[in-house]
Amino acid sequence: MTVHLEVAEGVGTLRLDRPPMNALDIATQDRLKELAEEATRREDVRAVVIHGGEKVFAAGADIKEMQAMDHAAMVARARALQDSFTAVARIPKPVVAAVTGYALGGGCELALCADYRIAGENAKLGQPEILLGLIPGAGGTQRLSRLIGPSKAKDLIFTGRQVRADEALTLGLVDRVVPAAEVYEQAHAWAAKLAQGPAIALRAAKEAIDAGLETDIDTGLTVERNWFAGLFATEDRERGMRSFVEEGPGKAKFV
């Protein structure tokens, strides 16, 4: 298998395993969707890390496979390509991308599906599809522009240039830069901490933010209000407030 789901301490690691560059061929895309949906369903997975290994996150699509496809073949495939990445973006739990080495094209688009991105000092990110006479097709034109703004996204997509970790941090493309050897450890620690939190409230926060970004503020406030009120029916809310009153802030145990 080219993608594995490994679970420990409430954290599910979606690990790409297609040496040497983790090229995202059709089989890998389909496997990614399958395991993202499994991570969504499993109660023992409370947060997720996406990782490509110590040397490379994912260098992009399998260009040889794509070269053999004509227009009709890609029309038939393009929706499934997007759906595989959307399955990751819609995991209703905290998701962090642990980015080492290249995260280009589809690799960058996969990182964009996470809620938070930790990059190694050796990371290089970009959307080089324009150099192939294409545009990003797995969400890059949409998620990148929402994350860093349209003008910065257009610069990266129009030029196809790669950015190193420090520039990616300045752009807001990644959220933290650490030594390459520490990327997975720090990503796992981020996920493990949240895995101990209130699962339903974390889901609510993620869905309210993501839904709000896709609509007007009044509709977004309605989504927030409904989730906020609904959480008063949960055991985690009772536990959190009781702990606050009896022991002070930040001491509630949710697992």
Residue of 129, 138, 153, 187 with catalytic role: 129
Note if 6 is an active site residue.
Answer: no
Note if 109 is an active site residue.
Answer: yes
Residue of 23, 58, 59, 61 with catalytic role: 61
Q: Where do we find the tokens 């949240």?
A: 194
Residue 165's contacts (CB-CB under 8 Å, 6 or more residues apart) are: 119, 120, 121, 122, 123, 124, 125, 174, 177
Note if 106 is an active site residue.
Answer: yes
Report residue 192: phi and psi, to 5°: -65, -35
Sign of the Cα pseudo-torsion (73, 78, 80, 81, in order): positive
Q: Where do we find the tokens 């991308």?
A: 97
Counting Cβ atoms within 10 Å, is residue 132 exposed (0-12), middle (13-18) or buried (19+)? middle
Note if 129 is an active site residue.
Answer: yes
Residue of 87, 107, 109, 137 with catalytic role: 109
Report residue 101: phi and psi, to 5°: 60, -145
95: region left, alpha or beta (phi > 0 left; psi from -120 to 50 alpha):
beta
Q: Would you please indicate which residues are annotated as catalytic (active-site) residues?
A: 61, 106, 109, 129
